[in-house]
Structure 1
Amino acid sequence: MFNTPLPTVNELPTTRKLVRSTVIAMLVAAGLLVTVVMPSEYAIDPTGVGRTLGLTQMGELKITLAQEALADAAPPQPAASAPAPQVAQVQPVAQPVTQPVATPAPALKTDQMTVTLKPGEGTEIKLEVLKDKAVSYEWTAAGGPVNYDTHGEPYNGEKGYFHSYNKGKQVKSDKGEFTAIFDGTHGWFWRNRSTNDVTITLKTSGDYLGVKQ
């Protein structure tokens, strides 16, 4: 009878080695499950390796054979009975519902005006705009820069009262938008301080009543 000596403590694997071996075994098992078992048994091939090895086709064949076997084993279905005769039902005639007519929004006005100023001459163009209505504008001065003031005057306001939206000196163009803060006339005043004739072209678009020039 042979007695095998017991291994010493130093000869036993450490906990770290055991854990590493366990993890490696789990990874190998998972890899085999994904690349071999799942493609060959269930035709599930998330990695594509099974189809390359022909295992996915094997799994698809197994599934097809199983489905055919289930279909052969299923009991025959009874013949469908003839449907019962339908009794015609008289449906009440729906009355047409009168839809409210939508009031179309007023179309925005669009205008283009041109004025020529001689040296030292001034002029203005005004729009009749109601409170809280917006106007977009753009003007250019050909021939030289001008001084300008964009302002508004209320209907029946105090003499000499006006509200200035913006102003500038020696400017060749300006564009923007203003919203009327009261009912009245709103527009632009230009003064030609150069020694040449200057032609001003103004384009406006917005919800205003008319133009005063």
Structure 2
Amino acid sequence: MYNSDTPLRAELPTSRQLLRSTILAAISALVLLVAVVLPAEYGIDPTGVGRVLGMTKMGDIKQQLAAEAAADAAATAQATKSPATGSSGLAAANAAEPAAKAAVVAVPKEPGQAVAPKIEWRDEMSVTLTPGEGTEIKMKLAEGAKARYSWVVEGGTVNFDTHGDAPGKSISYEKGRGVPSDEGVLEAAFTGNHGWYWRNRGKANVKLILRTRGEYTDIKKMM
């Protein structure tokens, strides 16, 4: 015979208590899903808590990486299916290239032609990205403010996303894959942080140099 403490019927939870515990557990799980899982995994932040805690940015980056991986896989599959260029096609391309270059070089400059003025940049930042590494630089801009920019990659190319964010707001201005450089004017759609996210998808280190000027109040590296 073994001695055991058998609980009394009065000590057992009632059906109402069990139901209440189940409902509380379901509500807790739903709150965690909306406030933590959705922002951190998918960049979806209906409550705004994820952006305050910095989890929405994590989810945005995860979604961007997933999209880049899918695009890379699709590009690889397409390249595998496409037939290789024949030797005659390569010969024709090589023969046409010198003629095209000669046509460009042969155009003389007009006497007295105006030379574009050299741009005086306000800030210059540089960062080295290892294979697979990403970085983000943003400026603080008021709605309608403009900033002129120019960035160039030394030693390769990068994938980029020009975007902006503010509490409860986000926007993607432009995206690109395998780009060696870009320049233009960024006009803020709303007051907040606006800038770029770059990722090195190559197999060697690259150096990214960003030059900016304009109506921003601050510029800094976010990650």
- TM-score, normalised to structure 1, is 0.46
Bigger helix share:
2
Higher Rg:
1
